[in-house]
Chains A and B, each alone.
Chain A
Amino acid sequence: MARSRGRQIFGALMTGATYGAAALAILPLAAILTMLIVKGAGSLDWDFFTKTAVPLGESGGGFKHAVMGTLIIVGIACAIGVPIGIGAGIYLAEFGSRKLGRAVRFVADTLNGVPSIVIGIFAWTWIVRPVGRFSALAGGIALAAILAPIVARTTEEMVRLVPNSLREAALALGYPRWRTSLTVVVRTAGAGIITGCLVAIARVAGETAPLLFTALGNQFLSTDIRGPMASLPRQIYDYATGPYEEWHRQAWAGALVLILMVLTLGIVSRIVTRRTRRAVRGGA
């Protein structure tokens, strides 16, 4: 009796400890969100999204140029990084057991671990310096270099989840190998691949370091990808370190917008993941 009671107490304690750990893990996100809402929500108004920065000394203005810039630069990164990443991921999962596959996997893993500032310097050395000017395109390429390996590895994992019996079924119907991979396999893993892309996009949308030497930043609205362009993280950095109260408030609002974008991508990807699991499990 006494021993069983001891076990029950120990069990309850350990369960409590896991709850505590879970709460601690959530705490930073909750704290960040609360702080951003408290400090930033007040400055979030229509002007924030429709106006660009105002000259020094004037009040008002918004982050339109930075929001647009982030959308454009991330868009460039997606246009370049997503196809490369998905293609590489399919290659790794479907054909990548050979030497080249191992090499590609190693490079992707290494690239995943490279600090983003290094990617920025790399893009500066190979794109900005030879071309002679900072550009949104260079920023997009730098972000694509971060995006592609993440997409490649998640795509590979999702494609591996597709049961081999489905591949055989397609091949037995007379599908060529490439068609089996591109239709049956990718379609079955589709939702998972989309999730991987969303997670990767969320990751690069908040990157600041690769943009420092590439897209640089801009106080004006610009849609010319051959020139410098503002971005949310960069604009937050500038305003937060600036001397004016209003800048600080706008920086908080910008941070809130950025984290809401990332949060939305995360939530959408969770919903999509749930759907994939169902599809893949049902097909097994």
Chain B
Amino acid sequence: MSLPVPLTRAADLRPDVDVTADTPVRLATFGVTAWYGANAGVRDVTLSFPVGTVTALIGPSGCGKSTFLRTLNRMHELIPDTSVGGQVLLDGNDVYEKGVNPINVRRSIGMVFQKPTPFPTLSIADNVAAGLVVGPKMSKGQRQDIIERALRRAALWDEVKDRLGASALALSGGQQQRLCIARTLAPEPEVILLDEPTASLDPAGTARIEDLVHELKKDMTVVIVTHNMQQAARVSDVTAFFYLGELIEAGPTSQMFTNPGNARTEAYVTGRFG
């Protein structure tokens, strides 16, 4: 099967981590356009997400960064009257190809939302295991192991190990968000999408999530939408700047914040608009 090569290759992005031309691109988009009825919320975005990197999507409100994020795991199409054009390649396969089940796409590409969304009727453990219900059958022991591993990776295990059966609502906002990250990690997705994950958290909670993002990128591909430019600078290797539904510029984070190639990027990152 011949696949179109995304215009922005891993090597072109020169992220701040050790990425060579050989670093595999886990996720890539090719001319993605996201429609709301007849309006394109995102136009013709081509971008690569190499393995082991964190990509920050930044831009003013309404620039399409969240919409673009939602096209990656086929969440955009859940809104009535929407459609997506172009290609999203996960390990080289188009997730929008005919016959691809969006459910499998979403199991491979996990997502965490702006507000913590624990299932209110489920316990902490059952919340973490919620995504396993739709996966392959497993024994109780396996399930237990996965819950513990996911909670450890989300840096929540020590705080909840003695009350796994308690309601998820008993946790603080920051803990709930880490619980949601654990829930997303449990089915072991290859990619994790974070849609402004710290927007509703206090500085301490924000710091914990940012530390977590550093840990996660060791074995996953992370894409994070953020309004907070300091956050983008702190956590990401690659930054992509969106404006009015278009990808203006993408590149290594250090370069994007110190010496961007585009005047609009510079105006935005220096706080002159947005």
Contact = CB atoms under 8 A, between A and B. Distances in A.
Interface stretch (A1-9, A42-50, A168-176, A222-230): A168-176
Given A168-B75, A168-B78, A282-B169, A173 B183 contact: yes
Nearest to B73: A172
Interface string A61-100: 0000000000000000000000000000000000000000
B2 interface: no
A279 B121 CA distance: 7
B103 A188 contact: no
A168 B265 CA distance: 32
A171 B119 CA distance: 12
Find the residue from A163, A173, A188, A280 having the highest chain B CB count within 10 A: A173
Contact of B187 (A165, A168, A173): A173
Given A165-B113, A187-B121, A188-B121, A171 B75 contact: yes
Given A171-B78, A173-B131, A174-B106, A283 B113 contact: no
Nearest to B186: A173
Find the residue from B73, B113, B115, B120 having the highest chain A CB count within 10 A: B120
A102 interface: no
B118 interface: yes
A172 B169 contact: no
A246 B196 CA distance: 74
Kindly state the interface size class of chain A when it binds its partner: 20 to 34
A227 B103 CA distance: 51
A174 B187 contact: yes
A155 B104 CA distance: 31
Interface in A134-184: 163, 165-166, 168-176, 179, 183-184
A175 B115 CA distance: 19
Interface string B132-157: 01110000000000000000000000
Interface in B110-138: 110-111, 113, 115, 117-122, 130-131, 133-135
B33 interface: no
A169 B120 contact: no
B104 A169 contact: no
B169 A169 contact: no
Contacts of B120: 166, 188, 279-280, 282-283
A210 interface: no
B134 A176 contact: yes
Interface residues of B, number: 28
A169 B119 contact: yes
A190 interface: yes
B138 to A, nearest CB: 15
Nearest to A282: B169
Nearest to B117: A169
A232 B15 CA distance: 78
Contacts of A176: 103, 134
Contacts of A179: 134
Interface string A251-275: 0000000000000000000000000
Nearest to B80: A97
Given A173-B183, A176-B134, A283 B110 contact: no
A173 B121 contact: no
Given A172-B75, A173-B187, A282-B169, A166 B134 contact: no
Interface string B178-189: 001001100100
Nearest to B111: A172
Interface in B149-207: 167, 169, 180, 183-184, 187
13 contacts: A163-B117, A168-B75, A168-B113, A169-B119, A172-B106, A173-B134, A173-B184, A174-B106, A174-B134, A175-B103, A187-B122, A280-B120, A283-B119
Q: Which 7 pairs show the lowest CB-CB distances between chains A and B?
A: A283-B120, A174-B107, A173-B131, A169-B117, A282-B169, A172-B111, A174-B106
Given A165-B113, A176-B134, A283-B117, 6 more contacts: A163-B117, A165-B117, A166-B119, A172-B113, A184-B119, A188-B121
